Structure 1
Amino acid sequence: MTGSEELLKRLPTDLGGLSGDAISRTEHDLEPWEKRCHALADVLDFHKIINTEEKRRGVEALGAEMIGKLSYYERWIAAFANILFQKGILVPVDLARKMAEVEARRAAQP
């Protein structure tokens, strides 16, 4: 199978059968932001804004390189932002403004 054929037949998140690093199966507590991300997914789904299938496709649309660099919940956040941009619910400048506000609050904390 050529590289192009492989790309067409295998999504970036479809890793079954490929060689790779060992999977770390250690339990860990979620960080507060990860819990908020999961809650956001539930709210978006409950209000019929982004469903689970859209989230899955949004993560896959990030591509193999981004998926490889981002953590599990970072992928969700990137996918949510892209989907909300596509739907016209959120615009990048508003997201950037809010991120700057949050960063300023964080920097001001002792």
Structure 2
Amino acid sequence: MSIALDILSWIFLLAGSFFSIVGGIGILRLPEFFSRMHGGGITDTLGAGLIITGLLFQAGFTLSAVKLLAILFFLTITSPSSCHALARSALAHGLKPVLDSPPKSDRKVQP
């Protein structure tokens, strides 16, 4: 049973690491503020959540597991809330999201 828990733990740890790395690349590669914030916020919550879940399997039923659950709970609440507050602040200060241009078939031809 210990080997199964170790394998499950490593699956969660590797998946969380993957999503965290993808989020970091997204922050660097995405073109504008709102898409960068979205890419970072989503993968931050998911990546850290998966890593903490993997650590929970390693901790077993101990006081460390209770502390990890508290961290997971607060991370799940605060990370999306902070991204939302940051986006509202950016909109309130005049930063507008960059929207896609309409498809070529919808554009009017100028004579």
TM-score normalised by structure 2 residue count: 0.27
Question: Which structure's relative contact order is higher, taking Cα pairs within 8 Å and 6+ residues apart?
Answer: 2
Q: Which has the higher helix share?
A: 2
TM-score normalised by structure 1 residue count: 0.27
